Amino acid sequence: NKIPATLIAGDGIGPEIMASVTTVLDALGAPFVWDHQNAGMGALENQGSALPDATLDSIARTGLVLKGPLTTPVGKGFRSINVTLRQQFDLYANVRPTQTIVPGGRYSNVDLVVIRENVEGLYAAMEHYMRVGDDPEAVAYGAGFNTRAECNRIVRFAFEYAVKNGRKKVTLVHKANILKILSGIFLHEGRRVAAEYEGRIELEERIVDACAMELVIKPENYDVIVTTNLFGDILSDLTAGLVGGLGMAPGANIGEKMAVFEAVHGSAPDIAGKGVANPLALMMAASMMLAHVGRQDLSARLDGGMKQILTTDGIRTRDLGGTATTEDVTQALLRAIH
Ligand code: NAI
Ligand code: MG
**Whose atoms come closest to the Cα of 316: which ligand?**
1
Contact 206, 238 (CB under 8 A): no
User: pLDDT tens across 178-197, in order?
Assistant: 999 999 999 999 999 999 99
Catalytic site includes residue 222:
no
The fourth-level CATH superfamily of domain 1-93+248-338 is Isopropylmalate Dehydrogenase (3.40.718.10)
Q: Which atom of ligand 1 lies at the shortest distance from residue 10's CA?
A: 40
Is 111-242 the same fold as 1-93+248-338? yes
The helix/strand count (H/E) of the chain reads as 11, 12
User: Where exactly are the structural domains of the chain?
Assistant: 1-93+248-338, 111-242
Predicted confidence at residue 164, as pLDDT, reads 93
- Residues with Cβ within 8 Å of 152's Cβ and at least 6 positions away in sequence, in order, are 189, 192, 193
Predicted confidence at residue 77, as pLDDT, reads 66
Q: For the domain covering 111-242, report its CATH number.
A: 3.40.718.10
Contact 29, 298 (CB under 8 A): yes
| Alpha-carbon gap, residue 151 to 156, rounded angstroms | 8
Catalytic site includes residue 307:
no
Q: Identify which of 72, 78, 246 to mutate to test ligand 1's pocket (most ligand atoms within 8 A of the CB).
A: 246
Catalytic site includes residue 161:
no
| Alpha-carbon gap, residue 299 to 305, rounded angstroms | 10
CB-facing half-sphere around the CA of 109: CA atoms within 13 A? 7
If you average pLDDT over residues 90-113, what whole number do you get? 91
pLDDT of residue 235 exceeding 70, the answer is: yes
CB-facing half-sphere around the CA of 252: CA atoms within 13 A? 25
3-class DSSP assignment, residue 102: coil
Which helix (H) or strand (E) element contains residue 207? strand 202-207
pLDDT > 90 in the chain, percent: 86
User: pLDDT tens across 148-157, in order?
Assistant: 999 999 999 9
- CA distances to 50, 87, 122 from 77, rounded to whole Å, are 12, 17, 20
- Given pLDDT bands bounded at 50, 70 and 90, which one contains residue 168? very high
Q: 266: CA distance to ligand 2 center in Å?
A: 10
User: pLDDT tens across 267-326, in order?
Assistant: 999 999 999 999 999 999 999 999 999 999 999 999 999 999 999 999 999 999 999 999
Cβ–ligand 1 distance for 253 under 6 Å, the answer: no
Q: 268: CA distance to ligand 1 center in Å?
A: 4
Atom 23 of ligand 1 has which residue's CA nearest to it? 266
What ipTM was estimated for this complex? 0.97
